[in-house]
Chains A and B, each alone.
Chain A
């Protein structure tokens, strides 16, 4: 296939107009030894063959379920969201640098910023970022710039991959990253915060699904002059206290749960919402309201003096784009759901997860529920006949992976192996449920689980 419109006659006419002999002639500025290297690509395909190949690749995967979480989950997205956001004008526009002909995207972004501000009860949202993990890293950098301090405290309850990204961003700037382990309840313990700490980062609900007691953690951060950064699942804010209400200075997270399909992990978007005092430290695009020369309300990219195309090496971040289209999907989705719908989706997720936990506990499985959980929780397994003390962390993790694979082999996509850093002494899976989880889906999991973790597996298989 080829999307160029040029006929042979066009090429001849254009070459004549510019006085060139051939198309190849146009590349004469390139040293000849660099031209036409061997490139190993198959021949092109027509549309039918392409779609056949793509379908072949798609069909070589098993569809996910609503039982997988770990930072992303399959939630209800009304059909209208895809229809509206796939309109050409939204999909094929560039960054709104000419505001007179970009009011569609600019206004939608202003609406997005308002909605994120409402969800978090913090006043200033940017126009979105790459993903939750890089947004958390940028939030830590906001705190470092604001406080002038060079140490960051992060709870182990923050998603492990988020912490990896955080380490990647902070390392080169010589900012020390200290991880606080979770306690026996799998939640963040009361913290001692030193006066050298720029930010305390805590995730709510945490990676393992459990609820943190955010207010005292925020107080501990503030008492030491640090900022408190709350990493949140925006869907949960239909039910849970908003970060602004417990004193968070920054709310960040991944927006997938409020209107983006999974897509194997992306694209989604990250969000960041801050207090007024952090406004000038905020990275990324921001849309503001103003008027045009006729006095009409209008929207425009603003506060650009923070950004790379103006400030170059002194910019607040090198970030140059937002994740406009995926943030727009969230905007339309939140408008479709409204306050009631968002609350219902969150409630349905909590209800389904608690039913699932009850189902499994009723069968005798070890469900960790020392702390309250939202829509994810940990189940510990005894899948091996050997004594549990004999397993080292690597073996434990392999056993957890084997359990998830065994479920998958039974057609049930469920359960994320719990990383060994959490120090559980049995293989364990992180399970999830959402408002889309059906009773049948729960039953299938319980049935598959009973095959994967047979009753005969010693004393541990069932309690």
Chain B
């Protein structure tokens, strides 16, 4: 990434609209046959003014988006240990594998898409066996979308038993991802938060007293967002089920245990997975993700349609789920990502996946130890799973240290999450980083701490070397500018 001198202000990086010149062109579609559009479509249907899309040459276009790419950190260019996000390497071979599937239309006759159906069928199986669930839907388009699907399934289950009216509450730990309570609300539930105990796990006594006949579901992440395995999981499961509640597994952290332990065996009734985390489909700068949902047998009938089933020698869509919650997305989900995840699982096999969880946990513990040595505090000192939460020494702000890390050419960890830890720094190195990289990262963590002590005022100004520096986010929200102003530019 280009380094900018601090005091010499460079001109603003242009928008594609500012590079536009009337009459310039890049791509040209095949020529259309003559047609009288007014006659074909109707006079009153035609657009009067063309949209002001950019008019640029192909080289302008290439330079613009290539330079934009260079104004961007990514896994391929920078260490990126965001906690909870699982920023592991995304294998290139997956991109080659998926390309051969790009010309399939979802409404082609079933007999012409048998290869795609076979892949989906096998992926349903692979994800089910890895999670210990009985059936999977591959339809949800993201983790939060999977959560909504899963909670709607639980609601349909209670309704089928005549208990929907009285089961109005979803229990969520206070360390949970924000999507958990938002999802429960979207499914029509009231959310009750369960506090985290001093050991970083669900406070079992508080949990016991929060359970009641009005609880529909308990949503848990295990290991939780503090990177700690909920040791009481079997007791939590027993208590939940005794109260008639269903246990929901947020699969954000499955990568910590994949191949070694399964939510299904822990007693979870529903799981969602984030294929962009554990199964390394690219994050794409914020999506598309993919959030398959798995259930135990008693909930299978509520899954979204269609599933994929074996049909004689071939495969077919299965719409025969009369108690289904219905569709949550058009077609069959983010198929391209399902192909990538399948390629990942099948190329690694069980041994490779066990290495994923093994090395992810090893790396996290190693970096946690190094960070402790570098002078950071650990609110829950002890072994972690695939990630851990640290804090800066008293008096220092996480935000400033994170910004200083940007100047060192590395991406900071997740900051200010989970909310139960003040000044939280949530670190997840993932299994694909080498010890040298972790050593280097730890050294930089030590270095920014040192400069914070030497010159706290300068630290509060960081970063200095990035394409832009700290932003005025308050004005952005108070006086939103959400699109380019063509008038101003002309």
Contact = CB atoms under 8 A, between A and B. Distances in A.
Given A266-B141, A344-B29, A347-B37, A101 B182 contact: no
Contacts of A192: none
Nearest to B25: A338
Given A103-B71, A108-B65, A31 B234 contact: yes
B468 A99 contact: yes
Nearest to A261: B102
A351 B35 contact: yes
Nearest to A416: B107
Contacts of B183: 318
Interface string B452-490: 000000000101001111111101110011111000000
Interface stretch (B91-99, B206-214, B292-300, B389-397): B91-99
A1 to B, nearest CB: 4
Interface in B154-178: 155, 177-178
A390 interface: no
B330 A114 contact: no
Contact of B351 (A44, A286, A304): A44
B68 to A, nearest CB: 4
Nearest to A215: B44
Contacts of B241: none
A325 B336 CA distance: 12
B471 to A, nearest CB: 5
Interface stretch (A60-68, A195-203, A451-459): A60-68
A456 B186 CA distance: 56
A45 interface: yes
> How many residues of B sit at the interface, in one of the four size bands?
35 or more
A113 B16 CA distance: 12
A321 B186 CA distance: 16
Interface string B339-370: 10001011111111101111101110110111
Given A5-B434, A34-B265, A168-B325, A298 B468 contact: yes
B73 A14 contact: no
A53 B346 contact: yes
A91 interface: yes
A224 B362 CA distance: 62
Q: Which 7 A-B pairs have the closest CB atoms?
A: A265-B331, A60-B115, A44-B349, A325-B284, A104-B72, A265-B106, A58-B100
B82 to A, nearest CB: 6
Main secondary structure of the interface of B (DSSP, over half): loop
B326 A44 contact: no
A54 B115 CA distance: 9
A96 to B, nearest CB: 7
Given A102-B72, A262-B104, A347 B32 contact: yes
Interface in B180-219: 181-188, 191
9 contacts: A60-B118, A89-B76, A107-B13, A107-B15, A134-B329, A293-B471, A298-B468, A322-B286, A337-B53
Interface in B86-127: 87-91, 93, 95-98, 100-109, 111-116, 118-119, 125-126
B279 to A, nearest CB: 12
A95 interface: yes
A124 B482 contact: yes
Given A113-B483, A324-B285, A335-B53, 10 more contacts: A23-B361, A39-B130, A41-B130, A61-B101, A86-B95, A164-B326, A171-B326, A264-B104, A326-B284, A348-B29
A269 B463 contact: no
Contact of A84 (B62, B145, B288): B62
B327 interface: yes
A93 B78 CA distance: 10
Contacts of B125: 40
A366 interface: no
B325 to A, nearest CB: 6
B323 to A, nearest CB: 13
Contact of B483 (A26, A83, A114): A114
Given A57-B116, A91-B74, A104-B72, A296 B105 contact: no
Given A4-B431, A34-B265, A98-B412, A319 B144 contact: yes
Contact of B28 (A89, A286, A344): A344
Contact of A341 (B25, B177, B470): B25
B361 A27 contact: yes
Given A94-B87, A289-B481, A61 B361 contact: no
A425 to B, nearest CB: 22
Contacts of B155: 172
A1 B15 contact: no
Contacts of B95: 86
B132 interface: yes
Contact of B103 (A3, A26, A262): A262
Interface stretch (A178-186, A307-315, A381-389): A307-315
Interface in A247-263: 254, 261-263
Nearest to B191: A313
A263 B476 contact: no
A188 B113 CA distance: 34
A351 B177 CA distance: 50
A91 B90 contact: yes
Contact of B90 (A43, A61, A92): A92
Contact of A292 (B1, B287, B470): B470
Contacts of B77: 88-89
Interface in A1-28: 1-6, 10-11, 13-15, 17-18, 20, 23-24, 26-28
A157 interface: no
B464 to A, nearest CB: 10
Contact of B68 (A103, A117, A237): A103
Nearest to B328: A168
Nearest to B90: A92
A370 interface: no
Interface residues of A, number: 202
Contacts of B318: none
A305 interface: yes
Contacts of B427: none
Given A41-B350, A50-B347, A344-B29, A30 B257 contact: yes
Contact of A310 (B126, B178, B431): B178
A242 B50 CA distance: 10
A364 interface: no
Nearest to B469: A292
B284 A324 contact: yes
A105 B72 contact: yes
A441 interface: no
B105 A64 contact: yes
A272 interface: no
B421 interface: no
Interface string A69-87: 0111010101010011111
A245 interface: yes
A5 B432 contact: yes
Contact of B411 (A40, A98, A293, A332): A98
Contacts of B33: 348, 351-352, 355
A159 B327 CA distance: 13
Contacts of A90: 69, 72, 74, 284-285
A4 B355 contact: yes
Contacts of B369: 17-18
Contact of B188 (A50, A97, A173, A241): A173
Contacts of B339: 54
A114 B488 CA distance: 14
A240 B47 contact: yes
B114 A60 contact: yes
A358 to B, nearest CB: 11
B230 to A, nearest CB: 9
Interface string B296-324: 00000000100000000000000000000
A102 B482 contact: no
A336 interface: yes
Interface stretch (A125-133, A146-154, A391-399): A125-133
A208 interface: no
Nearest to A335: B54
B359 A6 contact: yes
